[in-house]
Structure 1
């Protein structure tokens, strides 16, 4: 039985092995593949959460049953999933993640053609109805499922956006999340000096809860000061949220970060 409460405004979330199982994931994939017209190319990724591999496998199988070809990305950040949807010219995508929720949670973010997210008023109600009422359409021929490397093209893209007058030293708190899979490679590619904590991907999130808050960033603030870093960056579990710490250890509020980003957007 699929619980209606797992369908949220912007994603699907529930407790793994209770609300979300491989069978539920397969139904979600089958329903979404039906919404995509039982054809086309999709990408499926996951963060490091417990059960992510199981749910990604179920979702991919459901999409395949609907007739969609599936590119399996493995462990990626949520921004990497969005990038991959555009890079591989996919018609849709699924990221298995519960973002900054506690370790026992997992979920799904679904990407529509063009990169927008399935959400309330933009497809989530239809998906919920199809899953709960089993309104699927299976294809005569299953789609192909194959693995691809999503990390290299993402690193190439990110690296192409940077040039330095002076290369900064950066302190990172990876929160044991998906960023730990890709950020060290970006740092190496750019030739940056860095220091890091919670750098081992672990879906139990042993360092702290996977959300950059005033409480969880205390170790990063100390690392910035102790390592002499120019600034620090603390990520959430799936890498779609970051909070910055300046060289004196002060946390920069999100609205200030946004203002700085917008000011330099055209550079």
Structure 2
């Protein structure tokens, strides 16, 4: 490679369907491998920020999945040709999604390009994804993703420096001449900045004391499963080196391009190995994270499952256990619309401002930037705070350990005490994955047609001896209280007079086909119900939803792919 490099312009062809979803563009690897496909989308990202691009710094990294390194090398060449001053890259191309957000915020960069398909499987025959995070560290808002999409529809060429080659496996800083100006590539330690942030937020000594035990208290046994995703190096550093957890309790902690054949989605179905190990082993606490590290699952002794909705509510009720919130105060709580309403009750009791937003972490970001939100979560195993602008799996596990250390109780006892105070929101989600798109649309049309009928409110829907009276029904829309932007068609909601809810959504995070998500939420204040199995309690409402939507008739599916 010569000392002075020049960019060239490459004529391209337009690819249809490069529309980013709630978390970027996700497609099969083979789609991204098409000639010009990845280059087009990266060029569109850069053109969407063209007014601020020259002289800027960008962050690049991903979850280590197949095609990641190849994509990083393409991005380096394209970014260099588009007038960016500096690129910060995680070593080996590795950066968790929370780490990207932390690095953008710490170094005040223009934003970051994140290479991930999150919880989707990896490998040559699986999925890849690219998303853009803005200068606040959060996913690009709708106006930016819409602009990126519009550019992809008319893009005629892209700029690239074909001869630029850099070793991203080695921590180093390199400055090259590109088109007569300096271009710097800094390959950084993937975990250092993130670990420093966690140590500012949490009392690591209190957590370590819990984990190590004392003369009068046995060590608190944890099992952490990274599902061969990006969190492995972070887990080894934080739980292994900083907190003294034995390496035998940190499993699947090496990022693999195909996640070792695992489906890196931390739920009861895809993290069954963790569930069984905790159920049958000596563990007090289990945690699993997804491919890019922003999702989490928390379970207690004997695999006592904490629903994400309950996890958010319990943390909200116990934020004083975390030094960060002792310093900043608690500004507000929020959840995505489909998430169980448990945190609503904590907000009401504590007098803290509460928000309900559409699915997608970017909607929380506006509230955080305005200083109105401290803690938020989604039922899809995402929990986070205003320390960054992404959900954060490792943060959630450290938050739980902080609460346990302060209360000195088991996870199950903490949950039962919480329900005694606030009541219990039983919650479940049924996912029907890879449905025929036409059939999925028929399901949604079936529900929407019914809820639009003038006499639908007041309708009694029954299953066996259970009767639900419709109080309200709509296709959810959201007006942002900060910028007053309006987001429409975010899910079909049926709210009942007893506080129960049924919600239907088509997912925006799949790479093929359509995923129908059915969310069912039912509140109980009677303590005699608290120990019941959620599926048993929710069975009548689930059946009401299936009959109403004719889901089984339209899709031919007699059972969901995943129940959480």
State TM-score, norm by structure 1: 0.89
More strand by share: 2
Deviation at 1:30, TM superposition (A): 2.6
Cα distance in 2, alignment partners of residues 131 and 217 from structure 1: 37
Which one of 254, 258, 262 corresponds to residue 308 of structure 2?
254
**Aligned 1:1-267 pairs, distance under 5 A:** 1-10=13-22, 11-20=24-33, 23-36=36-49, 37=51, 38-39=53-54, 40-68=56-84, 69-73=86-90, 74-103=93-122, 104-119=126-141, 121-134=142-155, 141=181, 143-163=183-203, 164=206, 166-167=210-211, 168-194=220-246, 195-266=249-320, 267=322
Q: CA RMSD in A?
A: 2.4
Bigger shift: residues 19-28 or 61-70? 19-28
Deviation at 1:135, TM superposition (A): 6.7
Bigger shift: residues 40-49 or 184-193? 184-193
Deviation at 1:47, TM superposition (A): 0.9
**Deviations 1:208-233 (Å, cap 9, x if unpaired)?**
21111222222112322454222000
Deviation at 1:156, TM superposition (A): 1.7
Count of aligned pairs: 266
Structure 1: gaps spanning 5 or more residues: none
Asked whether the 8 Å contact 1:224–1:247 carries over to 2, the reply is yes
Deviation at 1:66, TM superposition (A): 1.4
State TM-score, norm by structure 2: 0.44
Structure 2: gaps spanning 5 or more residues: 1-12, 160-177, 212-219, 323-564
**Larger-gyration structure (1/2):** 2
Bigger shift: residues 95-104 or 191-200? 191-200
**Deviations 1:111-165 (Å, cap 9, x if unpaired)?**
112223114x231111112233127786965743331224212112212333215
Deviation at 1:247, TM superposition (A): 1.2
Against the structure 1 CA distance between its residues 129 and 81, is the aligned structure 2 distance closer, same or farther, given a 3 Å change threshold? Answer: same
**Deviations 1:36-78 (Å, cap 9, x if unpaired)?**
2232111000111100011122123222221112111221111
Cα distance in 1, alignment partners of residues 186 and 37 from structure 2: 21
Cα distance in 2, alignment partners of residues 142 and 28 from structure 1: 25
